[in-house]
Chain A
Amino acid sequence: MGDRIYLDHAATTYTKPEVLEEMLPYFTKQYGNPSSVHSFGRESRKAMDLARERTAKALNANPNDIFFTGSGTEADNWAVKGAALANRKKGNHIITTTIEHHAVLHTCNYLEQNGFDVTYLPVDEYGIVDAEQVRNAITDQTILVSVMTANNEIGTIQPIKEIGAITREKGVLFHTDAVQAIGSVPIDVDDMNIDLLSLAAHKFYGPKGIGALYIRKGVKAQQMLHGGAQERNRRAGTENLPAIVGLGKAIEMAALDIPGHNARLEALRNRLITGILSTVEHARLNGHPEKRLSGNVNFCFEFIEGEALLLSLDIKGIAGSSGSACTSGTLDPSHVLLAIGLPHEIAHGSLRLTLGEQNTQEEIDYVLEVLPQLVQRLREMSPLFNQQKGGQIFV
């Protein structure tokens, strides 16, 4: 066990050495522009083609339908804005959910200011979207449904295949933000009837600053970046080749080992969840007990505030995250925690611990050893928590 424990893999992962190794030659030796005619350019083009094939294979997609972007956020923006604007003549209605990432939610807000109507579907107490609600929300004006594959905060996995079947039946485009899901949830864009899919390499042990958007052949999505003819004339800008190579390698590794990855992480995750529930009173597991990402643990601890707990954990060498207002930079706690029905005061006390491939059982046991004490210390300072003889009385 090292001196620090990283439990924030949903924020970002490290880059695997195998991935970095494949990337390195493309900085210093094979640095040609993939658009160039000469041999330098051709070598780069070849490397980019391989990365595209690997990405397509991981999604059971056609390589021609994979477009590299600068981030998952860019892919989400392109999918939602691009599909909305390109299909404006068919209708102006978009359906999404209240628990999407801000890259989708704020893009939808922007479209609302520009003449589109957006339905934000609610979720149940576990954060799951009801596919039948998607069906019922579709009108003759609906052009796009956007539902994330798995939630970044509480890890809930959505019924993507069911929703895809409905959108296909109704003739509406279906986008899914799969940024958190790649490597944990098997994806098959044909089987799941996905028309647009966003992903980002740094969530599955690839580099930061590179994402991709899958756009099914024939699906119209307006171009966002205008300029050169890169990405089959749909996304201008010289390609970030080392990062693209890294994405290709990372997604190949991630897609090959989904069952193994999930088995390893689930064992640690369940140990952490069970341990917290048995040692900390008034702790609430957020998200679904089973339909959740293998690496996601999200709790609310009543009577305390999340940022104070994060700082306490950080001093003990444990890195996590929280959906408290103090960590979101606004006065409100996480929109996801509010959407699953938590009152503000409880949502402020959230802690997300997200596991990765290097975490060990020893590390989890260390967390379980220190976390209850840290929660208790903050509770003893909290006016919401009063200890009385033989029990607790809550003001």
Chain B
Amino acid sequence: MYSEKVMDHFMNPRNVGEIENPDGVGEVGNARCGDIMKVFLKVENDVIVDVKFKTFGCGAAIATSSMSTELIKGKTIAEALEVTNKTVAESLDGLPPVKMHCSVLAEDAIKAAIEDYRKKHHQ
């Protein structure tokens, strides 16, 4: 049901963890629905130099968290904002239809973290 890429990112997730004193944090979803994604950003000169995540959720939720953090690492804020749920899903060689909301959650988590970064840095 999952692509090999999804399974790879589920089994070997990239960028798991937290960042101390992050420049931006975004948390979306809720435990009631069975999905929470929390993304931490370290930003230098408008570039995302480090990103970490913590996720409570299914295999697809973990894989999309992993893939989305990989997609924005080293990118500028503007570039990171161009990452959509579709990009995340396509980079994972697709997701089952019932799991598409996980990729939406990943996009939302990144946007929420960037929003938090902008608020903190008055941009």
Contacts and interface: CB of A to CB of B under 8 A. Distances in A.
B15 to A, nearest CB: 11
Nearest to A382: B56
B51 interface: no
A239 interface: no
Interface string A361-391: 0000000000000000000111110000000
Contacts of A326: 34, 57-58, 60, 98-99
Nearest to B65: A381
Contacts of A384: 31, 36, 56
B33 interface: yes
Contacts of A348: 31, 34
B34 A383 contact: no
Contact of B36 (A311, A329, A331, A383): A383
B55 interface: yes
A331 B33 contact: yes
Contacts of B99: 326
B75 interface: no
B41 interface: no
Given A325-B34, A345-B31, A383-B38, A308 B10 contact: yes
A86 B37 CA distance: 52
B92 to A, nearest CB: 14
Contact of B55 (A307, A325, A329, A383): A383
A307 B58 contact: yes
A320 interface: no
B33 A305 contact: no
A329 B59 contact: no
Nearest to A347: B34
Contacts of A304: 56
Contacts of B10: 308, 311
Interface string B1-42: 010000100110100100000000001000111111110000
B72 interface: no
Contacts of A380: 16
Given A311-B10, A383-B27, A324 B34 contact: yes
A303 interface: yes
A307 B54 contact: no
Contacts of A1: none
B34 A381 contact: no
Nearest to B32: A344
A307 B36 CA distance: 14
B13 A381 contact: yes
A325 to B, nearest CB: 5
Contact of A324 (B31, B36, B58, B98): B58
B62 interface: yes
B61 interface: yes
Interface string A295-310: 0000000011111100
Given A324-B34, A325-B34, A305 B58 contact: yes
B21 to A, nearest CB: 16
B12 to A, nearest CB: 11
B34 A311 contact: no
Nearest to A381: B16
Contact of B56 (A325, A343, A383): A383
Contacts of A344: 31-34
Contacts of A383: 27, 36-38, 54-56
B88 to A, nearest CB: 17
Nearest to A331: B33
Interface in A317-335: 324-326, 329, 331, 333
A312 to B, nearest CB: 8
B36 to A, nearest CB: 5
Contact of A381 (B27, B32, B55): B55
B36 A381 contact: no
Interface in B75-109: 98-99
B98 A303 contact: no
Nearest to B16: A381
A305 B54 contact: no
8 contacts: A305-B56, A308-B62, A315-B11, A326-B58, A345-B32, A381-B55, A382-B55, A382-B56
Interface of A: 303-308, 311, 315, 324-326, 329, 331, 333, 343-345, 348, 380-384
The 7 closest A-B pairs by CB, nearest first: A345-B31, A348-B34, A307-B58, A383-B54, A326-B58, A344-B32, A383-B38
Given A308-B58, A384-B36, 7 more contacts: A303-B56, A308-B61, A315-B7, A326-B58, A329-B98, A331-B33, A383-B37
